[in-house]
Structure 1
């Protein structure tokens, strides 16, 4: 096995880490340190850099909790991130080097959540096989509902019927620079009312992230008579647009304003040449179950299921 030098990330690595993310074969802006560190007070960072002959070959966004290391719990996805031309055989050797480093640091379990394969045109699944070889346990699965924008759209007839009716209701779609109107008037009250929940990001946090990544994070709202009745917060990567938050007021619900916005955005990003529109998961609180109504709603918008897998390796075996 080749010799790799592995070190924990510290602030001195800020530039080299971000430069690597910008050129990596399987990274998105979520791995930039400015994104990762907006909530650094909530996590004990255990991110790693992997060098071969003093050249950075891979990074692992990660955090530690007790005797376990997670490919970062504060991110939607994670896993090892590799340099552009790195081949699968070396990726396997890097995985072994990382596992050895974790054992040396008294880590007992390693939790790994790779980025869904549809984020990268050349795939991102070699690590699944290498994890299987090392007796990783499939700990959890999530169903991501995704529209393939490269193929003909399959929005249901009923959705399109309502869409054509809604088009005549004098609704305006606005790309906003401020998040507060949507957060305070629609998203937060509706999440509290329907699910007794809060958004993962506070309004201040999403505003901070927008300032750092103005071309990657966007807010689209539906207005009727200057009142916001629905909105979707978008995270854009090279090939994928992800609906990070979507919500509608009671008034918006009556006119199906959220469907109206989704359908417009699906067509918008198809014209822009994006490959996939990720509408997020439909899993319920019980990780082995799902929200049937939400699944149907997203399928009617043209989504199909792409699984996201979560692995666990017992390092004591």
Structure 2
């Protein structure tokens, strides 16, 4: 796939990746991982992560040997088809794996704080300040039948100590920042009344009510693909400038993910099979599965 295949999306500027291109893996166990130099600067550092379906002996492995680092202000894509393990990796980071799946081994550090085996209270505190997840498996707490503006304002008053008036004003500002054309009108409806792309934008606004260090977007391309336009994902780049966030995007669509990410990790059968800058992935994919994902993205675009 060339840049001409994605003219709108690939026009979005990217920073140069801090990683050098890893060598192509020669076996299933020869997995590309970030360099030690990059990991020393990481905000989020995942090392040797293994996820199993349950705690039972011999339980199927969902992801194994995952090592991944994210720098401050970096946007990274975890790309894989359903069942690849990409979503499980993302959900494991903030401790949101659906039961009975568990982290069987490994370390997850955010700003030097270990998340694996952290207490529920510690995880809740870190979710409030360090890491936020938007996911069908872990909703942000928006009630489907309550007015959006009121819900956002309530969260802002609780987490930010704002007055009722200031919280209402800030809620409108957040809805505007995520690109909604009429924040006032959106604030007066309930989530079930929104189209998929607008709902994604509102969900992100809710996650940003107290800006985290790391924002994980779990399969946001589902809504984008359904709506047929990428504007909601393009907004992720703007969040970097406004909030200084690190962002992890989980997607089945390698074309869309590469368009908004600095770096992409391709996941197959619970392993990272290729990892490189988005530009390198698009220009010269090395792993057969990466090739197939790019072909699927090109076919989807017609």
TM-score with structure 2 setting the length? 0.27
Q: Which has the higher contact order (CA 8 A, sep 6+)?
A: 2
Q: Which has the larger radius of gyration?
A: 1
TM-score, structure 1 normalization: 0.26
Q: Where is the strand percentage greater, Structure 1 or Structure 2?
A: 1
